[in-house]
Amino acid sequence: MKKRWLAGILALMMGITSIGCGVGVISPGESEHQGTTNTGRIVVGFSQLGAESDWRSANSQSMRSAFTKEKGYEFIFEDGQQKQANQITAIRTFIQQEVDYIVLAPVTETGWDNVLQEAKDAGIPVIIVDRMVDVEDESLFTCWVGSNFELEGQKVAEWLNQYAKSQNIQPEDLHIVNIQGTIGASAQIGRTKGLADAAKKYGWDLMAEVSGDFTQAKGREAMEALLKQFDNINVVYCENDNSALGAIQAIEATGKKVGPNIAEGEIMIISFDGVNEEAIQLALEHKITCIAECNPLHGPRVEAIIELLEKGQKPDKFSYVDEMIYSANESVKTLTIDDKEYEVTIITEDILTERQY
Ligand code: GYE
């Protein structure tokens, strides 16, 4: 990689700017450079979208552990702080640095065409990770690896359908609110669709969809407002665990109880990720009734893709990660979606200790 020496010099300059030289400040986001010298390492620039959740922290950690100096990588990490403009700046900087690979975890799906065209023109492969990009021309990125967010939504919705049936709860008696993720992010789009489609199919009362931005603070705020607006909520579909923690705080602050016993006035919490330890603990206590796993450990997956590309081979354009569905409630054992059966993993203390996150 002949460009590497140049990237090394640039990385060195960046290191100097961080101790106050005052040239070449690259972005308002946080920047981390694992090294400043470069001797034949593969340079990977990673534009991470932010640090909004436990899932995200686990994802960043996974990437950092995959691309170490020991393994021959120079890893440049840029935190976009939830702003697409910061991510675009980071990508442009990676292009100027002539990195060997750009890895992008995009905050939202649209708006990437121009900057990805710039990367393509510069001959730098772009690997998309986690959320997707929605671009006119799919040759603007090399490949994508992440989760099937709509399937995650379908799984928890089907779990709810079967649970309601097992308890003789009528579909129209399910009064649901959706605390959505960051609007326009693939994880939000897919999970929102999974619920909305099921609500339509089964005749559930889906009363509101509001964003909690995947954070605990906004999840709490959203739930507080919803509790003021509706007095009959009995299911809260939270598009990640952090917003579920916020929703639970808001519900418990009003003296109401969270749990699966809707008929006895409890409010059921459904969630996604299964990364936050507190959320798994709450699931064990039946305070979160069902969690669709979302696996954040993409570091080794992206590394495998780069290894293939280094050998001149072609990775699959889209790679989906297999994921589980968790519940401590044993009413539903398996789910069928599009003729495929999924086993519900019953949460036990062992699951807490065995998890790799
Ligand atoms: O579920 C959420 C995070 O895009 C899959 O983003 C990711 C989602 C994850 O903030 O916790």
> Of 11-15, 20-24, 209-213, 238-242, where does mean pLDDT reach its minimum?
20-24
Q: Of 102, 105, 94, 100, nearest to 129 (Cα)?
A: 105
Decide: 187 in ligand 1 pocket, CB within 6 A. Answer: yes
Give the pLDDT of residue 4: 42
Q: Is the pLDDT confidence value at 1 over 80?
A: no
Ligand 1 centre and the CA of 273: distance in Å?
Answer: 7
* Best of 240, 276, 277, 288 for a ligand 1 pocket test (most atoms within 8 Å of beta carbon): 240
Contact predicate 33/45, CB 8 Å:
no
User: Of 196, 185, 186, 248, nearest to 219 (Cα)?
Assistant: 248
DSSP characters over 193-245:
HHHHHHHHHHT-EEEEEEE-TTSHHHHHHHHHHHHHH-S---EEEESSHHHHH
Residue 333 is classified by DSSP as: -
Mean pLDDT of 214-230: 98
pLDDT digits (tens, 9 = 90+) for 189-199: 999 999 999 99
pLDDT higher than threshold 90 for residue 13: no
Using H for helix, E for strand and C for coil, what is the string for 164-190? HHHCCCCHHHCEEEEEECCCCCHHHHH
Query: For 239-294, what is each residue's pLDDT tens digit?
Result: 999 999 999 999 999 999 999 999 999 999 999 999 999 999 999 999 999 999 99
Residue that wins the pLDDT comparison between 2 and 176: 176
Confidence of residue 23 (pLDDT cuts 50, 70, 90): very low
pLDDT number for residue 296: 98
Query: pLDDT grade, residue 16 (50/70/90)?
Result: very low
Atom of ligand 1 nearest to the CA of 296: 5
In single-letter form, the type of residue at position 356 comes to Q
Distance 39 CA to ligand 1 centre (A): 35
Position 164 pLDDT exceeds 70? yes
Query: Does residue 214 line the site of ligand 1, with CB under 6 A?
Result: yes
CB 273 within 8 A of CB 54: yes
Contacts of 94 (CB under 8 A, 6+ apart): 45, 47, 76, 78, 102, 119, 124
Under 8 Å between Cβ of 55 and 294:
yes
Tokens of 146: 């992440």
Per-residue pLDDT at 354: 82
Report pLDDT for 38. Answer: 54
User: How large a percentage of the chain has pLDDT more than 90?
Assistant: 86
Q: pLDDT tier at 353 (50, 70, 90 boundaries)?
A: confident
* pLDDT score for 263: 93
- Residue pair 109/131 in contact (Cβ under 8 Å)? The answer is yes
